[in-house]
Chain A
Amino acid sequence: MKFKFFTFFLLLIYLALNFSSQAFAQDQEEATPVESPQELTLVRAVMCEGLRGLGPLNEAVAFSIEREEVFCFLNFDPVPEKTPIRISWFWKDERRRNPKFILKPPRWSTLDSMQLRDADKGPWRVEVRDAEGNILKTLRFSITD
């Protein structure tokens, strides 16, 4: 009787240990794929003439006023959590627009645009800032004839 009890007890301990190690291995396997940083990453930022499909159309650094509109395309991947960003538009050093956008996880693309007028000719820059005001990217372009 004692022998059987002792054997049963050992077996129980063995199984218990076995399951826990397997569970640990699974946890490891599940945790390993999460190597990408847990922070907002801007993977693409361009000035363009519009959208084609899900991507920018005719990205460039100079746009004719005849286009009537210019776009700023941004792609964030990943987006760890819901977070705001600001897209500031500067004509020379004068800020003209400063809209706010909300990004949602896991990834997000944004398209901001501006109507063009004759008085908008000249050098521009767009600054993309995160929630803390850090500049993530500066895009420089010109509006021409």
Chain B
Amino acid sequence: MDTLFTFLAGIRCWDVADILLISYILFRLYALFRGTLVFGILMGIAVLWFVLLPITLSTGMVLTSQVFQGITAAAALIIIVVFRTEIRSLLLAKNLKSFFWGFPRMRLNTPVEVIVESVYELAKKRTGALIVLMGNEDPEEVVHSGISWRGQVSKEMILSIFWRDNPVHDGAIIIQDDQIRDVGVILPLSQSKDLPSRYGTRHRAAAGLAEATDALVIVVSEERGTVSVAKGTEMKGVTGRDQLLQTVREHLGIPENEEGGKKRGRLELSIAGLVFLICVSFYWYIIAKGEATVKIFEEIPVEYVNSEPGMEIIGSVNSLRVELSGSARLIRQMSEDQVNVSIDLDKVTEAEKTIKITRKNMSLPPGVRLQSVTPEEVEVVLDRMVRKVLPIQVNWVGKLPENLRLLDAKVTPRQIALTEGSRVINEISTIYTEKISLDQIEKSGTITAKLDISPASLKMDSGSRTTVDIDLKVADRIR
């Protein structure tokens, strides 16, 4: 019980927001795509990723797990390419409210009774007809030709389209909502070998479209005057008006009892929402809390930011030892690059300041917690950069011949400008050349020598020379 309370107390408001957001996204995907092939494929991929793949990994089925990983990796691209039409129509939603909050309404406006009456009128007159009632998918990708009609559905209209002498009677009509959208549409033929031989081209066309989309296709046979419906991979005969009415209503999602239908719809969505919430919470627990593990990084670099212009950091800690904890899954995948430590020097005005390292100084991946950091405090020493002009002096070594003396040595240039922190440069009065031996000097002349700029942190002005010319004068020594 104590463990449970501790666990519940450790849940942050951001964790709750995390769970609710993902649950809502999944719920919206379900609400927008339910009943369509897209949703089916998404569910299949989810089962593959969350169920089958972990099983293959844990049982050591290397080849199978590789294949599953490849499929899921390519799944996103495949879904976008294959279902681009559905995704496009979704993204072209009339307003954001319907995208984020609306539910696709079934075609309650479709005059089902009119369609059924028309079908049986055509059957009675032995007039062949193909009537396509769209589902959520637009069949325009799989059909050919077709003439845009956009006429109101009425019995007279349907009868006149399929009248033998009408130029467009040969193709199918596509009904969307309460409109006949297209006429004279050529449907793809089914390649299935299971269709009975009595079915002709008209029936094969109906079966072909039903297999390729989620549409319901009503076929009126010209030879026998019978009515059949094709949906998915099924083709079945319809015995009467009531059966056809019920079939069409089911396809369009129109309940007989409208109020009861709405209640069922709401219940279905509520259950779906609850299921997603539970699943996401469970998955969050596995990632965020399951099997906590500790990982230590010995040298995480420290970044100092926002120091005052002209100030330089001359003494501080450059790296820290950091101990992190989190779920085993998260910690195992972590690398040093994901841990960043930065110290803000914005309000630091003193030359020396001790700064305590806390969680606020760190950027960690979500779900990872800071256990400890060593050292816990960092001493930062700031210094103002100062430019100083210093004289140059020759550093002579060795010995001239006994009879000679070095009367003078003029250095060009005589001075050099250097920049360094004030603490360092204020201690320096002279810059020396490299050691120059007197052993080989026998007469006056000019030599060139390098400067020995020490400490190495001293910065020269750009373009400054690193060598000097020495004009030396040698004279006899008076004994």
Which A residues form the contact surface with B (CB < 8 A)? 49, 52, 57-62, 64, 66, 90, 92-93, 121-123, 125, 138, 140, 142, 144-145
Contacts A57-B478, A58-B477, A58-B478 hold; do A144 and B398 have CB atoms under 8 A apart?
Answer: yes
Known contacts A58-B405, A58-B478, A62-B406; A142 and B430 CB within 8 A of each other: no
In angstroms, how far is the closest chain A Cβ from the Cβ of B306? Answer: 35
Complex alpha-carbon distance, A60 and B476, angstroms: 11
Complex contact B398–A145 (CB within 8 A): yes
The 6 A-B pairs at the shortest CB distance, nearest first, are namely A142-B396, A60-B405, A62-B406, A62-B396, A145-B399, A140-B393
Among B427, B438, B478, contact of A62 (Cβ-Cβ < 8 Å): B438
Which residues of chain A come closer than 8 Å to B394, judged between CB atoms?
Answer: 61, 123, 140, 142
30 intermolecular pairs with C-beta atoms under 8 Å apart:
A49-B405, A52-B478, A58-B477, A58-B478, A60-B406, A61-B394, A61-B396, A61-B406, A61-B409, A62-B396, A62-B406, A62-B409, A64-B399, A64-B400, A66-B399, A92-B430, A92-B432, A93-B428, A122-B395, A123-B393, A123-B394, A138-B391, A140-B394, A142-B394, A142-B395, A142-B396, A144-B396, A144-B399, A144-B438, A145-B399
Number of A-B pairs, beta carbon distance below 8 Å: 59
C-alpha gap A125/B399 in the complex (Å): 19
The verdict on B408 contacting chain A, using a C-beta distance below 8 Å, is yes
Q: Are B478 and A125 in contact (CB under 8 A)?
A: no
B338 close to A (CB within 8 Å): no
User: B407 at interface (Cβ–Cβ under 8 A)?
Assistant: yes
How far does the alpha carbon of A30 sit from the alpha carbon of B277 in the complex, in Å?
114
Considering the chains assembled together, what is the distance between the CA atoms of A87 and B123 in angstroms? Answer: 130
B408 touches A93 (CB 8 A): no
A66 and B427 CA atoms in complex are apart in Å by 31
Please tell me which one of the listed residues B407, B409, B429, B438 contacts residue A93 in the complex, with CB atoms under 8 A apart: B429
Task: Specify which of A59, A61, A125, A145 lies most central, judged by the most chain B CB atoms within 10 Å of its CB.
Answer: A61
What is the bound-complex CA distance between A142 and B393, given in angstroms?
A: 9
Known: A90-B429, A92-B432, A123-B395; 20 extra A-B contacts, CB below 8 A, are A59-B407, A60-B405, A61-B406, A61-B407, A61-B408, A62-B396, A62-B400, A64-B400, A92-B430, A123-B430, A123-B432, A125-B393, A138-B391, A140-B394, A142-B395, A142-B396, A142-B397, A144-B397, A144-B438, A145-B397
Chain B residues whose CB sits within 8 angstroms of the CB of A58 once the complex forms: 405, 477-478
A125 touches B430 (CB 8 A): yes
Encoded as 1 (CB less than 8 Å from any A CB) or 0, chain B from 426 to 448 comes to 01111010000010000000000
